[in-house]
Amino acid sequence: MNLNEGYQTIIAKNPAILEKLEIIDRVAKTDSSVLLLGESGVGKEVFAEQIHLRSRRSASPFIKVNCAALPEGLLESELFGHVKGAFTNAVSNRQGRFELADGGTILLDEIGDLPLSLQAKILRVIQEKKFEKVGSDITVTVDVRILAATNKDIEEQVQNGRFRADLYYRLNVLPIFIPPLRQRTEDIPELARFFLDRYMKESKKNFEGFTGDALQAMLSYSWPGNVRELQNSIERACIIGKNKQIGREDLFMKQAGAPDVELSKDQNLKTAVNVFKANFIRKVLEENDWNQTEAAKTLAIQRTYLSKLIKELKIN
């Protein structure tokens, strides 16, 4: 159902998902905080959009912030803004995401990666709707509804001292768990067709649909990356597909026990190394639910360098 142009579409036949949409209808009428839980790629952002669209704030801004995408110093400025001279390169005043979301809704994605030093400030915004910009002692007041999303076990993080209990309880007023794609296989054919129609337009190709073998492969695959992985798989299939129908071989789905990479004889060393690096990094990302911060720790590299490698090696 596409309620508003520019927002993503929810495709659902699964009873559990339909139930979540009914809950969202009720939740949207309130201003309470909502905590969206579920594995990476299940569509938490899409559900957050639906909460905003069905609320009284639908005509106001919907602002998204990925708490894992920026280092701590930049994240504070991104969230709350800064004043001129607050730090090196702060050459002018800047509004933060909370100020930009005034009157509307803000989604704090990957809230489980929010540094402890910023959690108290977020708690204050929830409780008092007030904050100070970086480098300023002037209090800013905003009217913002806060949604949060994470693929982490926040209760475990609270027990381990990595997440404030008081912030967790304020965010967890209305928790909504989004089930993984492997638990809603009846949605796969319709989702696949939806993504096929989208990427046929982008690739300027025309496919009749999927072969029976391809459909069976999609239904039997575990989809560790969930809807996002399915979407990426269909996009690749539209780019490389040559026949009237998308076949199993076009989907490039990993099979248990299959090698991560096949190297042809005409590949040079640089290409072979890049192929290996891409597959190795992808494997680590999958093991960490595509959380770049955690994957970077596993790889023993900076998160910013990992982000650069993902772009350079076109990892998805």
155-178 pLDDT tens trace? 999 999 999 999 999 999 999 999
pLDDT, one tens digit per residue, over 48-104 is 999 999 999 999 999 999 999 888 878 999 999 888 877 777 778 889 999 999 999
Q: Is 191 helix (H, G, I), strand (E, B) or coil?
A: helix
CB 169 within 8 A of CB 128: no
Please list the alpha-helical segments (H only) found in the chain.
15-27, 44-53, 72-80, 97-100, 116-128, 154-159, 165-171, 188-203, 212-220, 226-240, 248-251, 269-287, 292-299, 303-312
Q: Can you tell me whether residue 261 is helix, strand or coil?
A: coil
Q: Which residue has the higher pLDDT, 268 or 291?
A: 291
Q: Which residues contact 23 (CB under 8 A, 6 or more apart)?
A: 176
3-class secondary-structure state, position 278: helix
The 3-class secondary structure across 43-93, one letter per residue, is: CHHHHHHHHHHCCCCCCCCEEEEECCCCCHHHHHHHHHCECCCCCCCCCCC
Q: Name all domains of the chain by residue range, CATH numbers in brackets.
A: 15-179 (3.40.50.300), 182-251 (1.10.8.60), 269-312 (1.10.10)
Q: What is the pLDDT of residue 272?
A: 59
Please give the structure tokens belonging to residue 148. Answer: 């949060």
**109 falls in which pLDDT band (50, 70, 90)?**
very high
Alpha-carbon distance of 169 to 35, in angstroms, equals 10
Query: Is 252's pLDDT higher than 90?
Result: no
Is the pLDDT confidence value at 265 over 60?
Answer: no
Supply 311's token pair.
């772009």
Share of the chain above pLDDT 90, in %: 64
Structure tokens at 126: 């929830």
Phi/psi for 124 (5° steps) reads -65, -40
pLDDT above 70: residue 294: yes
Q: Cβ neighbours of residue 29 under 8 Å, at least 6 residues apart?
A: 54, 55, 56
Tell me what the mean pLDDT of segment 97-121 comes to. 95
* Whole-number pLDDT of residue 274: 72
Q: Which pLDDT score is estimated for 124?
A: 95
Mean pLDDT of 218-228: 92
At residue 256, the pLDDT reads: 39
Amino acid letter, residue 277: K
What pLDDT is attached to residue 302? 81
Residue 287 tokens read as 């093991």
The closest alpha carbon to 28, from 164, 176, 138, 130, belongs to 176
User: Is the per-residue pLDDT at 144 higher than 90?
Assistant: yes
What distance in Å separates the CA atoms of residue 120 and residue 136, rounded to the nearest whole number? 17
Contact partners, residue 164, CB within 8 Å, separation at least 6: 116, 119, 120, 123, 158
DSSP helix/strand/coil, 256: coil
Regarding beta strands 145-150 and 34-37, do their DSSP bridges make them parallel or antiparallel, or are they unpaired?
A: parallel
Q: What is the largest CA-CA distance in the chain?
A: 65
Tell me the residue type at 196: L
Q: At what angle do helices 303-312 and 269-287 cross, to 10 degrees?
A: 120
- 297 pLDDT band (50/70/90 cuts)? confident
- Distance, CA of 125 to CA of 110 (rounded, Å): 18
Q: What is the pTM of this model?
A: 0.76
What is the pLDDT of the chain when averaged over all its residues?
87
Q: Is 315 exposed, middle or buried (0-12, 13-18, 19+ CB in 10 A)?
A: middle
